[in-house]
Amino acid sequence: TQLLEQSPQFLSIQEGENLTVYCNSSSVFSSLQWYRQEPGEGPVLLVTVVTGGEVKKLKRLTFQFGDARKDSSLHITAAQPGDTGLYLCAGGGNTNAGKSTFGDGTTLTVKP
Amino acid sequence: ETGVTQSPTHLIKTRGQQVTLRCSSQSGHNTVSWYQQALGQGPQFIFQYYREEENGRGNFPPRFSGLQFPNYSSELNVNALELDDSALYLCASSPSYNSPLHFGNGTRLTVT
């Protein structure tokens, strides 16, 4: 069974600070997704990384896939209250993203 | 373009009862995956349907069953409800089994 561990579980910061959250596994994933989920809503896909060492940027968010494709990180620069939410990583084969294994997420609170 | 819609949004059932949850896929999507998200945890894969056939199942007992209809809408049925079945049930559709997931906002099921 492939497991994904996310850390920290909870993170509370002030607006303008930087932060990094992590997603680690002992298994190799051929692709990894990051989602953000807000209360009362379903997860929304932020990015998919597929190549070891890959770095993708989405405005103030930077995603990195580990060289061995076992871990990933999400870095947010100058966090804003609108970044508040549950950040989930999910690993799935390239052949079937619908059968993804999710971590338990990092709950981020950005205080104004 | 209509997104993924789930009904009902909230449901309260008694232990031992049966429940049916519904999902309307995004237009053009032929694959639907169901996930269970317990409080404080990430989503767990229940099963996937592709063109009306079950296309993979997670670690859930047979009392969790599903259907996909010719219009690609889907149902999740749970028999003999247990207290631990209380969770947010998420449906996600995709254009094919190897495409990114589009989640609905879920059905919050409470079993008392």
Q: How confident is the model at residue B2 (pLDDT cuts 50, 70, 90)?
A: low
* Token pair of B42 as six digits: 């990430």
Q: How far is CA B101 from CA A2, A12, A47, A112, in A?
A: 19, 28, 11, 32
d(CA B20, CA B34): 13
Domain span at A91: 5-111
Q: Which of B32, B44, B100 sits opposite A48 (nearest CB)?
A: B100
Determine which of B44, B45, B74 to mutate to test the interface with A (most A C-beta atoms within 10 Å).
B45
User: What is the per-residue pLDDT for A30?
Assistant: 85
- In this structure, what CATH number is given to the domain that contains residue A70? 2.60.40.10
Q: What is the pLDDT along chain A (112 residues), one digit of tens a residue?
A: 678 999 999 999 999 999 999 999 998 988 899 999 999 899 999 999 999 999 999 999 999 999 999 999 999 999 999 999 999 999 975 456 678 899 999 999 999 9
Asked if B42's CB is within 8 angstroms of A100's CB, the reply is no
User: What is the per-residue pLDDT for B99?
Assistant: 79
Contacting residues of B for A95, CB less than 8 Å apart: 97-98
- Other residues' Cβ atoms within 10 Å of the Cβ of residue A98: 27
B4-38 CB burial, b ≥16 within 10 A, e <16: bebeeeeeebeeeeebebbbbbbeebbbbbbbbbe
User: What is the per-residue pLDDT for A22?
Assistant: 98
A14 close contact with B: CB closer than 8 A: no
Number of separate domains in chain A: 1
B53 close contact with A: CB closer than 8 A: no
Q: Which of B44, B94, B104 sits opposite A97 (nearest CB)?
A: B94
User: What is the per-residue pLDDT for A99?
Assistant: 81
Q: Give Cα A28 distance to the centre of its chain.
A: 16
Determine which of B46, B101, B105 to mutate to test the interface with A (most A C-beta atoms within 10 Å).
B101
Torsion from C-alpha of A47, A4, B64, B29, nearest 10 degrees: 10
Residue-wise pLDDT for B40-86, tens only, equals 999 999 999 988 999 889 999 999 999 999 988 999 999 999 999 99
